[in-house]
Amino acid sequence: MRRIAVRTDDFRLSFHLMRELKRRECNFVMLSSGEKWDGVLLTSPEEVQDGEIPATEETLEISVERAIQASRGLDSAVQLVFGVDPGPRPGIAWLADGVVVGSAQLEQIESVADHIVGLSLAVEHKRMCVKVGDGAPLIRDRIINQLILRGIETLEVNEYRTSQGSRIKTHLHAATRIALMGGSRVHHIRELNPTEGDLKEIQRQSRIMSLGNLTISTELARLVACGELSMEDAIKRA
């Protein structure tokens, strides 16, 4: 395995790269300006040279993922498969030619497709698909719609067995199991139909976020549920 190093005169970028590499539990070294390195090197776009990986604060996770895969010698694959466990904080796992190479838990539903596209750029591949678990129907359909709009091959997977063998089901474990299972191809955008329970839960969250000062209307809750309005904007409107 090739070692990873960080070399940049951008102190802020250096700090964020170091923090992300530690979060991913990677062994790495910090190099001074001009110091030579024959392993995998992360640096700024302004300082990058042939074979080095450019990183910015906006592309931090993707750049580190590229570095990790390069350190493993995984520069290309025939097939990439992503598994998504839908929920307010979706779990994602990704496989290259059947081998699990990473996982992440996202903070926003809206970022799922963009995150997957970014990760897919880390490894050259001939084919890619995304498998989405069938739990949390409204969030599931929002994620499926994101993927289809980007032209990504999308499959729906029955989540019934994803928690078997484990007493505690986590989004990341479930996402990995989903990625390993078969599914049904989804070809069309889905109509979003929030249930009364979905709307009441969003209204409950609005009370929490506004520190009990207000509850957004059912109409605003519906817009939030369908991803057409953020909770913050809905509270401002209310």
Q: What is the pLDDT of residues 18-60, one digit of tens each?
A: 999 998 889 999 999 889 999 999 999 999 988 899 999 888 8
What is the amino acid identity at position 134?
D
Q: What's the angle, vertex CA 234, arms to CA 230 and CA 238, rounded to 5?
A: 170
Q: At residue 131, does pLDDT exceed 90?
A: yes
Q: Which of 157, 196, 192, 197 is nearest to 177 (CA)?
A: 157
What Å distances lie between residue 157 and 80, 95, 101, 160, CA to CA? 16, 16, 20, 9
Distance CA 222, CA 202 (A): 9
Q: Read out DSSP for 171-188?
A: HHHHHHHHHHS--EEE-S
Q: Tell me the sheet residues that pair with 133.
A: 157
Alpha carbons 75 and 52: distance in angstroms, whole number? 13
**Percent of the chain residues past pLDDT 90, beyond the cut:** 64
pLDDT of residue 163: 54
- Rounded to whole angstroms, how far apart are CA atoms 64 and 191? 36
41 strand-pairing partners: 5
What's the rounded Cα separation, in Å, for the pair 162 and 181?
Answer: 9
136-191 pLDDT, tens digit each: 899 999 999 999 999 999 999 998 755 554 433 577 789 999 999 999 999 999 99
Amino acid at 78: V
| The overall pTM is greater than 0.75 | yes
Burial 178-215 (b: 16+ CB within 10 A, else e): bbbbebeebeeeeebebeeebbeebbebbeeeeeeeeb
| Confidence band, pLDDT 50/70/90 cuts, at residue 101 | confident
